[in-house]
Structure 1
């Protein structure tokens, strides 16, 4: 192999390995394109003097807008758009009214011909220690310059060295001579995947220079905490940041984050548990409350997940460190200057996910001292406390104008911090001063059809609970045989609820006959016995008034009536049956009961014929060995008011649905039984998938869908679209209306500027919020043979956000996604088994 060939192979192996895994498709090189990612070292480039002149005459030019530079590769990840001919040239829609927006993105600016130079470093003799290798490289600042990034094997510089191969000589502390060979392997254009990673490394360095502390993937400011002393809580303000290649330029997306810490230590928490439950239940309660929690160790500001409790270990136990044996107590004093006062406390165990030395065994678990740990986050009990949540949201829920000001202030703080700005300057980079400006579109308000009437709703409220009162629903089966179970203490509540149900159901066109009232004693065994004794084959509905929200009582009802004896059921907690809100609660219960027996409440206009919409989601069941519950929900009629539901139990921690093929086949059979034909178009909305799993969705789940379709005969080839739905995103949009900053109205669509060039993707703001900043939902069409125009795909997606029967308003995701989530959550939280197939055609999980 020639020297040039070796350089090219190194460039391909090392220069490309940093890209995100799972790139199922990449753009094929055009004629004359280079096969590597970036210009190889054999291609003539700028000299050192030329680069110096460019940096000296810095001009602010948006990355990705260079004239004449090759764009011969795409951002790391899956490139799905190229296979879709109908959106190859444009993926933007046109319908709706234009609206001026800004977003929490800042463009990364650089000099006009900015290039990152990648060098391979070879040490003779070889140096095993990465720290030593870095020290030897940093001895040659005069030759290499101050600006450099060294990962132990590859060196990145903003300049091109005079020679393709540069020989340097160093000396270790032991006076051992070391020869360092620096070989140019790649010239990386601004949008290279390696450059994208490089930008994020520089950003991390800047965040540290701003004295922010990394916790997990985000950075927080421990020096300016928000204190809530009445609840013993502290909140660290922080930021979620990432730099990626977007539609027209490379930008930094930044959003506000908060880390909630509890003022008391884990030892204080354990002491309170012992006082509350006594010694006989202390161990069980400790395990139940602490295992799975995230704790922060104040001596190094790192977070750990508590996986176990070492009941036989105390701070006086010893462990081997290097060649010596040292106690935990002495170790924390010597290495972290942290005193431990309680010698009898047990230690916490965290299975840290990190690699051991090359060729050696993986490191053991981390042992944590409760006295030095603080719990993070909120418990379910704290979340249910109105006062705690109200006081906390005062600090964390930012209005759009406040959020925009804080983001702008953060970027300005980089400019005002000399060290941070100097770090950017030496690389020839800087951030734009203003948030990215873009244009969106507001889709038309959907008309709601309910029974024989139709009506519009208030756009900014995005709900029609008032408009639907007194109007009969589309259809509702007559509920003749049903039971209402209650405890002896809740007898009056049962009669009041029944009276309210009769009053609200008739105007809604829901025919509720008088139920059989059954009382039971206040414990699960009595409730289960009452269910078994009374519920029969002809029972249409079971309603249960629960004395409290204890999980065991709810699970008792759902396990029996969803698995053993399939009957739609409705539970309500007695404390919600207050006289002031009883009519509202009764209306909601009547609508839910009608849905669960096959009723249809309202609809919107769906122009596509023979369409089946599918929603898929997963839930991880921690109580059943961390099995994953995959749920598939599919529409059965033109108006999207009847649904088929199926659950699949999967192996531990598995996100992608193995049983998708079987579940979809069942949905297609049910659709055929319902319509006497198969759908000509299928649109699948897949929720709960991260960007790193897109490859698996395209190559695994889509393959199962296609295989399932083939089982219905070779002549059956419906048009298929698969859309990945992502809710947990950092992107935010701010509307500029009449000179003020506010949330965008529901129906706002963004499909330019901040979308990804290699994807067919768009954002929709579908719901309305009255406090804080609204969160958009990201849609990525990863597979599409339907040929639907972007306008039609966006409008259909928005229409489906109106079709969730458990809320008389627009929700954040399409209805099939929410139905699939509710089904997976019910099975994972309460049932832990597959529901009976007799319930497949009902929304029994609402």
Structure 2
């Protein structure tokens, strides 16, 4: 199959600020796959007219759309000569012809009250809409960019935005829009505790070589269940049925309800259909029940809610339940309230809800592909009046793109192993008869069991320890101390003190500095785990390995082997490596791999963001060191990157005795809009770090963005190109058809499918002084995914970035005095004290 030649722009024209795709790769077996991209077969050719819209008074986006809808119905036929504008829900309107006024116009809109009743005292709301012409979008310039003949100007970006708004306008008026997706209750499923998951469709206009495509994917999000508030409360409080509420609720349940129901929108049902559309927002729950909640009626007499309702409407069925408070102090009995449909559930899902959500969203590739095709019927581009006016058409068929399956690398274990060098089949292998490359020596350690000796008797713990020692020894570790001290501790007690005791006992028993505390946890709760990691990483400076008590009781060989892999690298050992032939970049001359990530606090929190950098320490790229910094909350650019890079270059030199001549920097967590900013700030930081060590030191740098948060999915066409889960085979690479028109990017699905549809990783090269060819970078990135230290399967992400991600996650536990529950991360966190990881731990892979 002939590869398409990349068209070059006219001489001297710079078509991108980043690296252009040098050529196309040709390693591996060529195949074809379906991609969830649908070709725009007809693009608007004439200029698109762009208007700024201001709606006053300012209201939330959902109401903006209602105001706009009213405006559209009044004006599109009469005043606008049948022109149908499209609206982004906030500030922008686009039309295929100019609107019949010069530069700006103002319109008055009266929005009828929700309840549709004329007898209500509430007045209809008046709005002003001001339209102002901003620009004409030149669509020929977009076509030049797609053909690789022009730069991505602000005009091109606005053209893409206009197409985005055009495909979203109609669904956003009809369904519940959230970001680039919209959701429909059709096929929804109840999750535990009055929450339901709705199916949604994501859609985005994407520029690709020579054409625009629409990327369509499935998505899902949680909504509050609608319907009678009483039914919602039954589920929230885990009651069997509404009768269980007749005697009322206790204070703990009342507090829980107030937290869950705050800001929920409801309507009332006691005044007939006229008032059924009137909406209220719950502000709190009364302290007393309806019989004891008092207020002054219209005549100035004090009465209670239950008596008032019995006199005015009907007797309450649940007089012992508290009331919901709306407005300032309007009391509504719970039984007359209904939860309004389509309200997103913004709280963190609990474990049970998360498990239900995963079941709902986890769909094999063939089912996902079919549902995406069905989504096209829901989107219904064909019968979209606005798209017809703009002369835009979209294909009904998924794009078929060329792909390649890269060759499987060979992995190396210790030379004394059976099959010391082998190529894994289907991306998975096991450790049977294999020894790690460098086995660490574990001489000084102890076991700390969080739970009583009645619950976890010493003989059970010893049995597990024996199995673990045997497995670790078989796998190549050296464990001279086979009887570590065993201590029991209270899981609710002082964790730091318990760890210090375990540390002292380990040191005294072996007469050596303690290397490891093996912690047995009674459950999967994050609180105890977080406290252990905070104390061990930032106060004591000792490696810990946590294991679940259920696994200890079973003492399985496979589980012990996985634990062994983690312990070995935590103590400075090495598990496996790639041969020089599989990894020429690191072997030809001293080179370093770096991976960086930034993690942000949850919404509403003022805690700092955390930046982590991990870097390889030798030419085998199997051992890594880490550097961590805290920075201003929600800042994506790594502010102290220069010092972090300096840390890593020094550690590399101390470990290998060499200065890296080349740097390959993988950067996670950056969206397209931030590419320019990250590139300028972070490349400069890497260069200044090198120069601060030695003014003449200037290694060559390649900077690659790594993205997992995207909606590209690939589906095999031929049966021989599928793995056992129906996904594409590990090593499937896509670099044509659905990629950037000219820049050097590619999708690599390196992992083997476990469940659901695999998400490929998107690699985008922004800067390259190392002159990588597509083959050399793609192969290196894929091969590295086979030597992620803590499992025996190929992973979805290059290890340097994976490790940086683990370091960021771990740093969240380094807050002094935090109990790591879901609420602590968002409330009362103005001043928090973070502990710093001990320097000796940063040089080993403590985070595994």
CA distance in 2, matches of 1:740, 1:600: 33
1:252 has 2:200 as partner: no
1-structure distance, mates of 2:396, 2:747? 24
Residues 5-20 of structure 1: pairs in structure 2 closer than 5 A? none
Unaligned runs of 5+ in 1: 1-66, 319-338, 350-368
Structure 2 CA distance for partners of 1:473 and 1:169, relative to 1, 3 Å: closer
Question: For residues 600 and 548 of structure 1, what CA distance do their matches in structure 2 show?
Answer: 30
What is aligned with 1:25? none
Distance in 2, Cα, partners of 1:208 & 1:469: 55
| Match 1:236 to one of 198, 208, 230 | 198
Match of 1:773 among 728, 742, 757: 757
Q: How much does 1:158 deviate?
A: 3.0
| 1:689-723 alpha-carbon deviations (Å, 9 max, x no partner) | 22232233112222211211111222211110111
Structure 1 counterpart of 2:83, from 128, 146, 158:
146
Match of 1:440 among 403, 420, 424: 403
- Aligned residue in 2 for 1:114: 45
How many angstroms apart in 1 are the aligned matches of 2:424 and 2:777?
A: 24
CA contact (8 A) 2:164 2:204 kept: yes
Shift in Å, 1:830: 5.0
Q: Is the 8 A contact 1:80 1:782 kept in 2?
A: no
- Correspondence for 2:119: none
SS in 1 for 2:632: strand
8 Å CA contact 2:51–2:131 kept in 1: the answer is no
> What residue number does 1:601 align with?
575
Residue 473 (structure 1) aligns with: 436
- 2:183 aligned to 203, 220, 224, which one? 220
- What is the distance in 1 between the residues matched to 2:264 and 2:23? 44
Distance 1:534 1:208, change over 3 A: closer
Q: Closer, same or farther in 2 for the Cα pair 1:567/1:80, shift >3 Å? A: farther
Whether the 8 Å contact between 1:613 and 1:816 is mirrored in structure 2 is yes
Cα distance in 2 between the residues matched to 1:620 and 1:168: 42
Per-residue deviation, 1:348? 9.9
Q: CA deviation at 1:828?
A: 0.5
Describe how 1:253-652 pairs up with structure 2 within 5 A: 253-261=215-223, 263=225, 267-268=233-234, 290=260, 344-345=322-323, 375=345, 379-382=349-352, 388=356, 393=359, 395-412=360-377, 414=379, 420-452=383-415, 454-460=420-426, 462-465=427-430, 468-486=431-449, 487=451, 488=453, 489-490=455-456, 491-513=458-480, 514-525=482-493, 527-535=495-503, 536=507, 538-579=513-554, 582-605=556-579, 606-608=583-585, 609-621=589-601, 625-652=606-633
Counterpart contact for 2:266–2:339, Cα < 8 Å: no
| Secondary structure at 1:104 match in 2 | strand
On the 8 A contact 2:196/2:224 being kept in 1, the answer is yes
The reply on whether 1:719 has 2:700 as its aligned counterpart is yes
Q: Secondary structure at the match of 2:396?
A: coil
Q: Distance in 1 between matches of 2:596 and 2:57?
A: 48
Question: 1:374 and 1:763, CA in 2 relative to 1: closer, same or farther beyond 3 A?
Answer: closer
Q: Measure, in 1, the Cα distance between the counterparts of 2:720 and 2:633.
A: 52
Deviation, structure 1 residue 430: 1.1
What CA deviation, in whole Å up to 9, does each residue of 1:213-261 have, x standing for no partner? 2234421112x23335888663322201111212221010000112334
* Structure 1 residue 98 displacement after superposition: 0.6
**Kindly tell me: are residues 826 and 282 of structure 1, through their superposed partners in 2, closer, same or farther at Cα, counting changes over 3 Å?**
farther
2:420 alignment partner, SS class? strand
Aligned to 1:45: none
How big is the shift at 1:159? 4.6
- 1: CA distance, partners of 2:607 / 2:281: 16
Counterpart Cα distance in 2 of 1:167 and 1:555:
58
Please, which of 674, 686, 691 is the counterpart of residue 710 of structure 1? 691
SS at match of 1:710: helix
Point out the more displaced range, 705-714 or 690-699.
690-699
Partner of 1:34: none
For residues 128-143 of structure 1, the aligned pairs below 5 Å read 138=75
Q: Which digits, 9 at most, give the CA deviation of each residue in 1:659-691, with x for residues without a partner?
A: 211111011111111222210111111112222
RMSD between aligned residues:
4.7
- Rate the CA distance shift 1:396–1:558 in 2: closer, same or farther, 3 A: closer
**Residues 375, 542 of structure 1: alpha-carbon distance in 2 compared, 3 angstrom cutoff:** same
Q: Tell me: CA distance 1:164–1:180, structure 2 relative to 1, closer, same or farther (3 Å).
A: closer
1:808 Cα offset (Å)? 1.1
After superposition, the Cα gap between the structure-2 partners of 1:172 and 1:798, relative to the gap in structure 1 and judged at 3 Å, is closer
Task: Give the 3 Å change call, closer, same or farther, for CA 549–800 of structure 1 in structure 2.
Answer: same
Instruction: Tell me the equivalent position of 1:332.
Output: none
Q: How does 1:189-208 map to 2 (within 5 A)?
A: 189=140, 190-191=142-143, 192-208=156-172
Uncovered stretches (5+) of structure 2, i.e. residues with no partner: 1-6, 59-63, 111-128, 144-155, 269-275, 296-315, 328-336, 816-833
Cα distance change on mapping 1:478 and 1:283 into 2, 3 Å: farther
| Alpha-carbon distance, 1:447 to partner | 0.4
> Are the counterparts in 1 of residues 266 and 338 from structure 2 also a CA contact under 8 Å?
no
Aligned partner of residue 227 in structure 1, secondary structure: strand
From 770, 774, 781, the counterpart of 1:797 = 781
**2:828 aligned residue:** none
1:836: which partner in 2?
838
2:116 alignment partner in structure 1: none
Identify if the C-alpha distance between structure 1 residues 172 and 678 changes in structure 2 by more than 3 Å, giving closer, same or farther. closer
CA contact (8 A) 1:295 1:375 kept: no
How big is each residue's C-alpha offset from its partner over 1:634-674, in whole Å with a ceiling of 9 and x where there is no partner? 11100012211111122323333222111110111111112
In structure 2, the partner of 1:92 is 24
Aligned equivalents of 1:713, 1:674: Cα separation in 2 = 19
Q: CA deviation at 1:165?
A: 6.9
Residue deviations 1:373-394 (CA, integer Å, cap 9, x gap): 6746773331576xx46xx62x
Displacement of 1:141 in angstroms is: 5.3
- 8 Å Cα contact 2:594/2:665 also seen in 1: yes
Distance between the aligned counterparts of 1:260 and 1:128, measured in 2?
30
Q: Is the 8 A contact 2:286 2:325 kept in 1?
A: yes
Cα distance in 1 for partners of 2:133, 2:56 equals 15
**CA shift in 2, pair 1:576/1:277, >3 Å:** farther
User: Closer, same or farther in 2 for the Cα pair 1:347/1:573, shift >3 Å?
Assistant: farther
1:105 equivalenced with 2:37 (yes/no): yes
Cα distance in 2 between the residues matched to 1:317 and 1:436? 65
Given the two structures, how large is their TM-score scaled by the length of structure 1?
0.73
- Residues 63-86 of structure 1, C-alpha deviations (whole Å, 9 max, x = no match): xxxx9xx999x9xxxx995453xx
* Mapped contact 1:164–1:183 kept (Cα < 8 A): no
Measure, in 2, the Cα distance between the counterparts of 1:346 and 1:482.
57
**How do 1:66-85 residues align onto structure 2 when only pairs under 5 Å count?**
81-84=16-19
Query: Post-superposition shift, 1:528?
Result: 3.6
Determine the C-alpha separation between the residues in 1 that align with 2:221 and 2:567.
Answer: 40
